[in-house]
A and B are shown apart, each in its own frame.
Chain A
Amino acid sequence: MSTGVPLLASRSRSEHVAQFGPLPDLSSPERRGRLIDEVERAGLRGRGGGWFPTHAKLRAVNESAASRRRLSRGRHPIAIANGMEGEPASSKDVALMAANPHLVLDGLSLAAQSVGASDARIAVHRGSAAEEVLTRALRERDDDPVPIALVLPPARYVASEESALAHWVGDGVATPVFPDRPFQKGVDGRPTLVQNVETLAHLALIGRNGGDWFRERGCTSAPGTTLVTVAGSVVRPSVVEVPVGTAVLDILDQAGGPTQPLLGYLTGGYGGAWVSAGQLDEATWDPESVRSAGGVIGASVLWALGEDTCPLVELDRVTSWMAGESAGQCGPCMFGLPSIAEDVHRLAAGAPGADVVPRLRQRLGLVAGRGGCKHPDGTARLVATALDAFSKEVLRHEQGSCSAPEHVGPRLPVPETRSLTADTARKDFR
């Protein structure tokens, strides 16, 4: 796999039930309501990047279904497990699905029942290492009250954004939609619940063990454990499970520690933020602490960048890829991101000319908040935080030199970079 993280063997249904016990019965409305109360008591927050309170989303889908029911009958909600893992530097979702497919499917089953869904999907991108495991696991389940099917949207970064996922399940086009949010109007206009697969695995445990049990680990503002992909210049690139709020340096130690002095970290993934070495020394892995240190948890990636690697060369590769992943729908994204990528490329190549960095900074301010989804925001943050975290290297490049011209360290995984035209974009998203 791209980040070099090994996958564990998967548990069969019988091994799974032996370890975790049977799923709670949600056949009455009272029990479904109690499950949502328990999720609220647990304080579960979504692990797909936004850390949005899960109970609030479950209730929002329920409420929009209730208000819709008065208008039209027979349009039940649908639930989608987001196992797309669009972030190339993340492996936590595929590692989870590979090891514990039934825990994720249990969570999807409970969540789907709790919102009164008539059907459910689990989505992993085409070519995902989880496809085979899930196909096998679904064959072991014929007793789910809400039927679950595996779907395989195209492997495009923004196809994993929730409105794009709902769009694909409904119409077979994996592009983001504006302004309808899935919880109100998703798949074919139905209220649609989209939850990350890790969120659902936690929900499956909360359904069995209760909210107070969940709160025994983690912090008050973000209880429970969380998966982190730790990679880059570390001894053992791995996915680790830690209580939310674990010291960042402890997390690095669990991956064997750095292999060399570090220049900094990429936090969150390619829609995340760079921080310089030292900036995370006091931080703990919870959304608030990482944010106040200048990073983001996002897709829960912690990538260590060693001194033998030029951050701007890495930034260049990733920014070009992100620009090519635009869905080609919104001007500031389809034109703005390639212009930004070109400026970054000139800077990485060295001696870009005096106007390039100021122009780049101005362009970064012009794309965030202006797309139909947050793709431009994430890309702009990736670049802006790199310019700040590696300001010395930026100066060096402006003067035509580079501190790591050999560039021997581990490279950030970048799938094939696309050149963008509106026509190719349309085809690629089907």
Chain B
Amino acid sequence: MSTAEHTLVLDPITCEGRGLCHLAAPELIELDEWGYPLLPGAGLRATVHHADRPAARAAVDSCPVLALHLERQRQSKTTPL
């Protein structure tokens, strides 16, 4: 298993806000007052360190609409936008 960092990505348009990801990984994902997930850093992409990877994986697996993804971090962006 690699130790490369991963990024947890939330698609806010697909997300339906039922909060299953929070139940699966409360230490990683909070819910806001409207019931929508708050990733660490309160954005749509959060860096997941090695130790948090199982929690992130559990959150991703719990989402019934596939609104969460775990991406391996790329070294550099190749496009300007």
Contact = CB atoms under 8 A, between A and B. Distances in A.
Interface string A232-276: 000000000000000000000000000000000000000000000
A332 B36 contact: yes
Contact of A60 (B12, B43, B44, B80): B80
A369 B42 contact: yes
A390 interface: no
Given A183-B81, A184-B79, A369-B42, A178 B34 contact: no
B34 A331 contact: yes
A366 B44 CA distance: 12
A52 B80 CA distance: 10
Nearest to B12: A330
Contacts, number: 67
A183 B13 CA distance: 20
A352 B38 CA distance: 28
Contact of B42 (A57, A59, A366, A371): A366
A337 B17 CA distance: 16
Interface in A46-104: 52-53, 56-57, 59-60, 63-64
Nearest to A359: B33
Interface residues of B, number: 19
B15 interface: yes
Contacts of A178: 11-14
Contacts of A339: 33-34
Interface in B29-52: 32-36, 38, 42-44
Contact of B13 (A177, A366, A369): A177
Contact of A372 (B13, B38, B43, B80): B13
Interface centre among A178, A333, A371 (most CB of B within 10 A): A178
B9 A179 contact: yes
Contacts of A12: none
Contact of A179 (B11, B36, B79): B11
19 contacts: A56-B81, A57-B80, A60-B79, A60-B80, A64-B79, A177-B13, A179-B11, A329-B12, A330-B13, A330-B15, A331-B35, A331-B36, A332-B32, A336-B32, A363-B33, A370-B36, A370-B42, A371-B12, A372-B11
Given A332-B36, A335-B34, A370-B44, 9 more contacts: A59-B80, A329-B12, A330-B15, A331-B35, A333-B12, A363-B33, A369-B43, A371-B12, A372-B13
Interface of A: 52-53, 56-57, 59-60, 63-64, 176-179, 181, 183-184, 329-333, 335-336, 339, 363, 365-366, 369-372
